[in-house]
Amino acid sequence: MKKQIYMFDMDGTLLDLAYDELIWNTVVPNELVKHHPMQPEKIKQKLHQQYTEYQNTLSWYSTTFWSNTLQIDILQLHRLHALHIQPRAGCYELLAELNRRGHECWIVTNADLANLNLKLENTLLRPYFKHIISSESIGYPKEHEQFWHHVMAKYPFSVKESVFIDDTYRVLNQAEQYGFQHVWMISQPSSQSEMKTQLPYPSINALTDLIPFISRLS
């Protein structure tokens, strides 16, 4: 059987997005409320505007950017809640199975290096991966058309034979445009949100749902 590369997004794919939702939708607004004499609803509105403004840019994924913009220590808030970082169903089982069959696993994440390291320190992910790539070190987020060109220059791989799994439509769409032929979408990135239906790409929920397809993808 041919050895392949399986590239995984991290937040919402390998790890439960409920953690990041907790940080950005609850912990950060609550922290801002402590520091500002404004109505909590006003603070949340303003924060939501800022989130929308920077979506799909490297800034959005930068803990330094948000610490500077909001004047609170985002990384410290992450550390305080790190026990909520959890793998999604079937995560380690799928990674172990791919490694056992000799396939290469990579993480390809928009998380910045600080956030990535925090997640790696609080999970058992690291040993399964040959490469762990943050878009911060690539210089473009995964949604940007330059992203995969720069990954390819640094880490040459066969785009036609590799498999890419992510929970974000724009990211999968960019990968498809670059030439990926095997892309999979996560149907329930957060355990605290509804399962998505009618997805534009083949989808899985538990990561082990991919196992029956491994031999067929080769």
Q: Which residues of this protein are in contact with Mg ion, per CB under 5 A?
A: 9, 11-12, 167
Burial label for 9, CB within 10 Å (0-12, 13-18, 19+), is buried
Min dist CB 41 to Mg ion, Å, is 28
Q: Which residues touch 128 (CB under 8 Å, ≥6 apart)?
A: 92, 95, 96, 98, 99, 105
Q: Considering the complex, what minimum distance in angstroms separates the CB of residue 106 from Mg ion?
A: 14
Q: CB of 189: closest distance to Mg ion in angstroms?
A: 6
Smallest gap from Cβ 167 to Mg ion, in A, equals 4
Residue with the shortest CB distance to Mg ion: 12
73/87 with CB nearer Mg ion: 87
Q: What angle do CA 52, 53, 57 make, to 5 degrees?
A: 95
Sign of CA dihedral 15, 18, 24, 28: negative
Segment holding 61, helix H or strand E: none
Please list the residues that pair with 104 across neighbouring strands.
5
C-beta of 119: minimal distance to Mg ion in Å?
A: 12
Nearest residue (CB) to Mg ion, 11 versus 136: 11
Nearest residue (CB) to Mg ion, 88 versus 103: 88
- Beta carbons within 8 Å of 45's beta carbon, 6+ residues apart: none
What would the two tokens of residue 124 be? 């058992």
Nearer CB in complex with Mg ion: 32/133: 133
101 or 196: whose CB is closer to Mg ion?
196
CB atoms within 10 A of CB 153: 9
